[in-house]
Amino acid sequence: MSAELLRLFPEGMKHNKAERGKPRHDPPLRFVPTKKPDSEEGDESYNQTITVELNLKTTQKVVPYTFVDVESFLGYQKQHEYILSQQEAKANWSKLDTIRLDTVTKLSTTSPNTINAEEKASRKKLLELQAKMEKRMDALVLKAFTLYQQMSAAALRAEWDDIVQDHCFTAGWTDANGNISAETRGQDWTTLAACKRLHLLTVCDQDAAERHYQYMMVTLRKPQRLLIKPFYKRIKELDDLAHLLPCLKDQPDCPSAVQRMNVCMTPFVMCGLLMRSVNPNIEDEYNCLHANVPTDPKKLVEQLTRIETKIVSADKDSKIKSKADDRRKAEHHGDPPGSRSRSAKKRAKADPAKALANPIPRKTFPSNDNSKYCKLCKEYGGAPKTHKTSDCQKWAPGGNIMRIGRVLGQPIISTPIKVAELTNSWLSRLSSRSR
């Protein structure tokens, strides 16, 4: 994925936000990209890079690729093609091949058994030139094979070596006519492409293109938090990789009625996918402005973006107006500051999630100055919070104990008695009982 899309993608987005249910078969390319694991010290590929010469006085550092997902694997193979194009490997090979063919043509005009000294010398030079051209052509192809091997990490490199050995240097393979060849295929651009396709099949299935088409047409949907423009760019990125995926049509025993699926979308199909993915309000707004179905994805994205901006702005204005109305109604009904109005309470009742986000404030009770509290019991001992100071039946002002009697179950409070007098009376009673 490009750096721009990584910036526009909401952080922490999951696959289920962009998919209608779980796919029955794992698609090779998913809308939400896989996060690359961070390299740690001790890993084999940590801080290890190779320097590749692109053209004159231009080099590039390449980190050996470790498998993450199919999308990154295709990016790794595309990087190999990019380096070859910058080196002009195939173009230089074609120039050398032209010279070689011209040399072969000139050699055919001279008999190998000629006795003419000049013809013998000319023929010898042509043979040397032909061998030189073939050697340089083989070196370019070998360099491309070696580059792909060096761009791979240890695990992928071992698989690549096995594939090259089996496909390029093993006899007994079946040619296009169904005959078993006793010679090896060797290394050329055709066998390089075939080896890269076999290497791709180690990380995905043969029907990867069919699964990708099913995923894009049925399972994919637009995440709510993602705008239309980055959504279209991400779809375009995935669609550009479709022609690189393995397809059932490439199988030798594939029925003729099966269509090739590793092809990019047509503009009309892309427009249909975008219209199915947008919000119904945006779709209705577009249909009100246009009588025909869209056929140009770029123009469609521009128009949908304008409609989306308008609807988002209108939603923000309506939310601001709703909050202002709720505040006005709260003031009209006399609700205390910070409480919610009746309409807000109805909306909270309809949507409990919003109610939890804005709970009803707790009721505050006014302080009561006439609460029960006895200063005498607090000072001389007792339960001060059970009665008032004026109702205290235990203590009198000054720390005197109240003398309490009972008549018909009702307390009769007499005059206060000092603590010393009460103690003397108790002692006299005890002494009289002991006699």
For residues 160 and 192, what is the distance between their CA atoms, to the nearest angstrom?
Answer: 11
Instruction: Answer whether 430's CB lies under 8 Å from 411's CB.
Output: no
Average pLDDT per run of 10 along the chain, which is 435 residues long?
70 85 87 70 60 85 91 92 92 92 87 79 88 93 93 92 92 81 89 94 92 92 89 93 92 87 93 91 90 92 91 78 70 55 59 58 55 82 84 80 53 49 61 60
**Residues in CB range of 283: below 8 A, 6 or more apart:** 275
The enclosing H or E element of 59 equals strand 58-62
The domain ranges of the chain are 18-37+44-174+182-265, 375-434
Which residues sit opposite 412 in a β-bridge? 405
For residues 295 and 301, what is the distance between their CA atoms, to the nearest angstrom?
Answer: 11
What letter does residue 227 receive in the DSSP assignment?
Answer: -
What letter does residue 174 receive in the DSSP assignment?
Answer: B
Measured CA angle at 347 (ends 341, 352), to 5 deg: 120
pTM of the model: 0.68
Q: What confidence score (pLDDT) does residue 341 get?
A: 54
Torsion angles phi and psi, residue 71, rounded to 5: -65, -45
Q: One-letter amino acid identity for 45?
A: S
For 82-90, which contacts have Cβ atoms below 8 Å and span 24 or more sequence positions? 83/52, 83/54, 83/147, 84/144, 84/147, 86/54, 86/55, 86/58, 87/53, 87/54, 87/55, 88/55, 89/140, 89/143, 89/144, 90/189
User: How buried is 249 (Cβ within 10 angstroms: 0-12 exposed, 13-18 middle, 19+ buried)?
Assistant: middle
Q: What confidence score (pLDDT) does residue 41 get?
A: 44
Q: How far apart, in Å, are the Cα atoms of 224 and each of 101, 276, 278, 298, 373?
A: 61, 14, 9, 21, 61
